[in-house]
Amino acid sequence: MIDNYLNAELISNSQNDNKNGNQLELLINSTDEVLSQNSKSVGESIKEAFEKKKNKVIITNGDIQKFLVTLPKTDLESLRLAGASVFQALKNENSKEVNINDVKDLTELQRIAFIEGLLLSSYSFSKYKKEKSERQIKISCSPNFIDEKSLTELKKLAEAVSLTKTMVNEPPQFMDALKFAEYAVEAGKKFGFKTEILGKSEIEELRMGGILAVNRGSSVPPTFNVFHYKPENAINEKPLVLVGKGVTFDTGGYSIKVGGNMTSMKSDMAGGAAVLGIISAAAANKLPYHIIGLVSATDNKISSDALVVDDIITMMDGTTVEVQNTDAEGRLVLADALTYAKRFNPELVVDMATLTGASVAITGSFGIAMAGNAQSAMDLLKVSGEETYERLIQLPFWTEFEDLLKSDIADLKNIGGPIGGATTAGKFLEHFTDYPWIHLDIAGASFVNDAKGYRQSGGTGVAVRLLYQFIKTKCQ
């Protein structure tokens, strides 16, 4: 399912001294340290490179190449970006193997961030290319640089992020609701959690009117995907429930997307893919936390039977909704999942979805819009957002926004008009909750056109590292 360039492993100090073949030695130091630790013959060339404000230089000395990197900033995100820069340089040099040695001035967290940048940069999606990305670079880490436990954890986390990216990058004719369920079952077997897939007849029995309404225009039946991860040593009595939007392609329905806005709508299931990625990472690394994942999967296409504006639908909890825009479908599939979450008596529910263009106008690709009723949990999630650089901005969530969703002929409208679109979408979802709850609108950060740093173009896997860190913090 996943293409990766990087193969990271831990090596012993004695192995690290082997300089045979086309081997690279990665030295990470400040400018002064680099100059003091290398001979005068190479020192001048290094100095010249630094004066030109280059942050890396490769010096060839016989069969040995030394790859020198300066770190003008040592915050965690700068170190991830440094790792990404190094990985790109290694590719450019056609390197096959590199050793990472001890660095005295970096803390454990800083070293982990550097390796994380390397690992995240190694992802490639070449399934549909004539020339596949099969070449790998072997990264060997000294135990003095990173311990085996941390390296293993990073590799499993990066693999879960890669799974998420791949699912988002798959074209819509492949990644439909049935294929989403297949991926989920395969991930459960691989990473160690249980999967339960509900088909259309079971969804009808549950009277999930939102999912069924959005699916009316599709030739592919919907699936409702339930993931269970409950380790024996779980520290939480009530589960954390993660809910994801799994709209595998969004035409907008009869409120059709125009002006090129339909391009990249294969990414409208990024929230559902992130839920699968998060629970995969937690299970793979055996975090002692009880987690349940819920993903409503369908596409939003057009046919003679498709949902139209002015239809009134009945949701799983009996709420009637006047449809005023068929392109506001994500909240309909999420609402039924939020209702389903009540049966688990959750400690907290976190939903994630590519929900609104209004949130993109607020965050761009730089972060995630957040709302909810669990302020202490939101504050903790903000800290995790800063640590992972998947940052959060909290939306205004005043009760006045609820009035914008009032309908004259039903309990709710599915849109609130031009004011506060990201907030009114959240307010619609809030109606279906009676538990501590956080809403994450990942529309801006889930899919990018231009590669930058350790993020490739296409699916970014956003929210996987964020929620993994959030859960890991709660385990400490």
User: 331, 391, 455, 472: which one is catalytic?
Assistant: 331
> Can 452 be counted among the known catalytic residues?
no
User: 56, 127, 207, 257: which one is catalytic?
Assistant: 257
Query: What is the amino acid identity at position 19?
Result: K
- Residues 280 and 228: their CA atoms lie apart, in Å, by 10
> Can 257 be counted among the known catalytic residues?
yes
* Residue keyed to tokens 């889930």: 446
Token duo for residue 444: 């801006």
- Residues 440 and 444: their CA atoms lie apart, in Å, by 11
Please list the active-site residues.
Answer: 257, 331
